[in-house]
Amino acid sequence: MPRPLRVLFAIGSLAAGGSERQVISILKQIDRKVIEPRLYLLNRCGEFLNDVPEGIDITAFSDKPQSALRYFPGRIRNQQIAHLSETLKTQPVDVLYERTFLMPLITDSACLQTGVPRVSTLDADPRADLRNNVRRFRWIKRRLLTRAHQNAACVVAVSQELGRLSTVFYDLDPSRVRTIYNGFEFDVIDGRAKEPCPECDSSWFNIVSIGRLQESKAVDQLFEAIKPLEGRTFSKPIRVWIVGSGPDLNRLQERVRQLQLQDVVSFVGYQSNPYRWLRNAQLFVLTSRSEGMPSVLVEAMACGAAVISTNCQFGPSEILNQPTLGTLVPVDDTPSLTAAIEAAIVRDDGLQRVRAGRESVESRFSMQSCVNQLTELLLSINSSR
DSSP E strand boundaries for the chain: 5-11, 35-41, 58-60, 95-98, 118-122, 154-157, 177-179, 205-210, 238-243, 265-269, 283-286, 306-310, 327-329
Q: Which pLDDT value is given to residue 136?
A: 76
CA 90-95-100 angle, to 5 degrees, is: 100
Cα–Cα distance list, 2 to 33, 36, 124, 204 (Å): 9, 12, 36, 58
What DSSP line would sit under 276-323, residue for residue? HHHHT-SEEEE--SB-SS-HHHHHHHHTT-EEEEE--BSSHHHHS-SG
pLDDT in tens, 230-242: 878 888 999 999 9
Q: Which pLDDT value is given to residue 1?
A: 65
For residue 232, count other CB atoms closer than 10 A to its CB: 11
CA distance 200 to 274: 12
Q: Domains (ranges, CATH) in the chain?
A: 5-183+366-383 (3.40.50.2000), 186-364 (3.40.50.2000)
* pLDDT tens series, the chain, 385 aa: 689 999 999 999 998 778 898 999 999 999 999 999 999 999 999 989 999 999 999 999 999 877 656 666 668 889 999 999 999 999 989 999 999 888 999 999 999 999 999 999 998 888 888 887 777 778 888 999 999 999 999 999 999 999 999 999 999 999 999 999 999 999 999 999 999 999 999 899 999 999 989 888 999 999 999 999 987 888 899 999 999 999 999 999 999 999 999 999 999 998 989 999 999 999 999 999 988 788 899 999 999 999 999 999 888 999 999 888 999 999 999 999 999 999 999 875 556 667 788 899 999 999 999 999 999 999 999 987 7
- Computed on alpha carbons and rounded to an integer, the radius of gyration of the chain in Å comes to 22
Residue 7 in contact with residue 352, Cβ under 8 Å? no
pTM of the entire predicted model? 0.84
